[in-house]
Structure 1
């Protein structure tokens, strides 16, 4: 099992180009970045984690720009989004951004997508929260068409375009790995599309079998996001056959971040040294 890092890169913490090489040096296999285009001042939708919305949500950088910068200073680190809020994005532009990042990184991009939770944020993008799941299904299918066909077209209820040309195509074939982030609805979406799943880590190793039972026997790639550096939890996911677990890295200045990564690396050494 591989060990990665998920975090919010902001203007108040370590930069992407500083963080990427530090992860490679310590044996972490991937960097997964969060996305929020903005935070509406209304704040009517409650934060799923409970309490006040953490400061990093307000200040997070664009993940595609940041990952492109990280790609330029790393060689092996996988670069992903956890998750791209695709339902707030133009599907054709996003297909091109993702394909470009895959080329810049020489095939190291992981495309995590999700339906989001902040209803006011969606509304500012013209997205109806009630139909965001159906929209996401169509967007995933449309992006795959753009990535894999020289002449691509898609006709759905929410995504509709006549034949188009769009280059570059991704380096990875048939396309970069796609992962759907979330809980039961997300795993069902992953099963329908035959792509990977990004579940949020459970807090207790004993809960791992029940969480992964949601796959209902389907053999899909699984990257667990947001785990604590707890060996019992990591061992439980490894024994269950999970491909990767991503540890949550707090957003801190460079020196404090490097200390935290050293702390994580000591705990997860058995997995990092097995790469």
Structure 2
């Protein structure tokens, strides 16, 4: 089976680039028409460049497509009250007819801590808060009684099917989190020759939790510019156990990037 290929929606960029619903709709339709597997949106409250809200952008993309999967790449659960996050995710699952992919991360330190301070969340607690959120999130989304940190028991409705959880990050802690809570591990451009050992570690960690070994989605793999050479590189990723890649934007020209993704898919 060929490696699945995803792309990022044009939801962030320089201040002068601007954003519009038409561009999000056009990019979503273009990716689906090209036969790509998934669309992704980045997530930060305050980033190093302007960035749309991921949930609203993904909902816009879901509304104009029928098949392509819709992914958070990756949602910062720790920035949000977990019940609100669960409500957003469950609603997107409903409105996308179950096409949601829930990437979860703790944020890129390159963006600094201002967004966390603006949300009233201690930057240093983001990992612990993420683990606590993941422990209760499935019950909240699927409509089961769930107990929050303060002891309050709540049940959200309407319920939705639990989307796959992809735990983002290259660190050992991210792999431990993926083993404990995730359906997949989602590192950024890991070294191909290191993947076999990392996947062995991931399998052993998952076994300790009596859970299946998470699959692997690689974000921003380093690929040649020629689609046929890039397809050969994807074959190496597939041999290493990678299920999906999400191609990084090369600039503001998403049409060029999506065309490359389509050519890459055809060349596999």
Bucket of the pairwise TM-score, normalised by the shorter protein: 0.7 to 0.9
Q: TM-score, normalised by structure 2?
A: 0.82
Q: CA offsets, 1:98-135, max 9 Å, x none? A: 10000000000011111122323222222222222111
Structure 2 residues not aligned, in runs of 5+: 207-212, 224-229
Alignment of 1:259-274 (within 5 A): 259-271=256-268
Q: Unaligned 5+ residue runs, structure 1? A: 40-56
Does 2:169 align with 1:163? Answer: no
Equivalent position of 1:178 in the other structure? 165
**Residue of structure 1 in register with 2:73 after alignment:** 82
Match of 1:138 in 2: 132
**Residues 75 and 104 of structure 2 are in contact (CA less than 8 Å); yes or no, is this contact kept in structure 1?**
yes
Report the secondary structure of 1:268's partner residue: helix
Change beyond 3 A, Cα 1:214–1:124 = farther
Separation (CA, whole Å) in 1 of partners of 2:93 and 2:214 = 22
Distance in 2, Cα, partners of 1:101 & 1:251: 28
- Contact 2:32-2:67 within 8 A present in 1 as well: yes
Aligned 1:49-198 pairs, distance under 5 A? 57-116=48-107, 117=109, 118-154=112-148, 159-170=149-160, 172=161, 175-183=162-170, 184-198=172-186
SS of structure 1 residue aligned to 2:157: coil
- Aligned partners of 1:216 and 1:152: how far apart in 2? 29
RMSD across aligned positions (CA): 2.1
8 A contact 1:36–1:60 mirrored in 2: yes
Q: How many residues align?
A: 243
For residue 103 of structure 2, give the secondary structure of its aligned residue in structure 1. strand
177-186 vs 214-223, which moves further: 214-223
- Counterpart-to-counterpart distance in 1, 2:56 and 2:78: 19
Give the TM-score normalised by structure 1. 0.80
